[in-house]
């Protein structure tokens, strides 16, 4: 009997709540961290949705809209196991902080309360060696002052990226030689300028406008369009 085609396979679940979350997320996590995360999930009333990749964030959290509702978490579905784990724990820390300080006004989303909660949740992962050495070292340093977005910490991003699939045909903006022409994810074409701290001055070829692009962003180097090359040569 022929194997069923992919078109007739049941779709993989992308949304789960309560006890069903473990079945959705555990296969996406590093095996050593699964028992700890399973116990952590059981302590919180969550709904989790896998999202298509987003350029501006890896995950997010929304608190309950009413007393009986669940905390809603979304996580990009293209993350490697270690990035998925870090993002999941980041968002669970938001839920835990909200519950601990329920009803408090002016609670900053990534203030001291969240940082302390996130550090406490991450500590067993780092302390018990659930991750590769490079990721553990980066996370330990990150825990000294967790940022609002783990994807903004260069050391941690690069440590987690070691476990990504190869980025064929793409480079990080910080790796480009100056004046390299590249295409961004939105299709716009730029010329790379100088690095300015963590970002790079980049100039859109169509408009000449300057943009500051994060050095860790992936882009695709391309040949300079003939019209742009001709215009550059005409300049005195």
- Asked if residue 59 lies in contact with residue 90, where contact means CB atoms within 8 angstroms, the answer is yes
- For residue 12, the model assigns a pLDDT of 54
Write out the DSSP string of 39-68.
Answer: HHHHTS-EEEEEE---SS-SEEEE--SSTT
Residue 116 is given by DSSP the state H
Residue that has been written with the tokens 């961290």 in this structure? 33
b/e per residue 149-163 (b: at least 16 CB within 10 A):
ebbebeebbebbeeb
The continuous run of DSSP H or E covering 201 comes out as: strand 199-204
Which pTM value belongs to this model?
0.78
Q: Which residue has the higher pLDDT, 157 or 182?
A: 182
- For residue 106, the model assigns a pLDDT of 76
Rounded CA separation 51/70 (Å)? 18
Q: Which of 43-57, 73-87, 135-149 has the highest mean pLDDT?
A: 73-87
User: Rounded mean pLDDT of 179-208?
Assistant: 93
- Asked if residue 190 lies in contact with residue 220, where contact means CB atoms within 8 angstroms, the answer is no
Number of Cβ atoms within 10 Å of the Cβ of 121: 18
| pLDDT band, residue 234 (cuts 50/70/90) | low
Q: Chain-wide mean pLDDT for the chain?
A: 85
Architecture of domain 171-234: Roll (2.30)
Where exactly does CATH 2.30.30 map onto the chain? 171-234
Strands 189-196 and 171-172, by their bridges, are: unpaired
- Asked if residue 79 lies in contact with residue 66, where contact means CB atoms within 8 angstroms, the answer is no
Residue 174 is given by DSSP the state G
């Amino acid at each position: 009997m022929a194997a069923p085609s992919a078109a007739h396979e049941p779709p993989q679940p992308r949304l789960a709540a309560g006890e069903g979350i473990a079945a959705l997320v555990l296969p996406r996590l590093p095996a050593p961290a699964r028992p700890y995360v399973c116990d952590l999930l059981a302590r919180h009333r969550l709904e989790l949705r896998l999202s298509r990749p987003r350029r501006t964030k890896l995950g997010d959290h929304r608190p309950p809209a009413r007393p009986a509702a669940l905390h809603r978490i979304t996580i990009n579905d293209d993350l490697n196991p270690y990035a998925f784990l870090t993002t999941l724990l980041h968002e669970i820390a938001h839920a835990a902080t909200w519950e601990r300080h329920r009803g408090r006004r002016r609670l900053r989303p990534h203030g001291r309360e969240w940082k302390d909660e996130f550090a406490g949740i991450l500590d067993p992962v780092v302390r018990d060696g659930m991750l590769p050495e490079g990721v553990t070292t980066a996370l330990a340093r990150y825990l000294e002052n967790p940022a609002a977005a783990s994807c903004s910490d260069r050391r941690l991003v690069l440590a987690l990226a070691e476990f990504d699939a190869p980025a064929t045909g793409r480079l990080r903006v910080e790796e480009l030689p100056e004046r390299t022409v590249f295409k961004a994810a939105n299709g716009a074409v730029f010329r790379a300028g100088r690095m300015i701290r963590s970002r790079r001055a980049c100039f859109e070829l169509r408009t000449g406008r300057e943009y500051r692009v994060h050095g860790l962003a992936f882009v695709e180097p391309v040949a300079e369009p003939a019209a742009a090359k001709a215009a550059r040569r005409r300049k005195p």
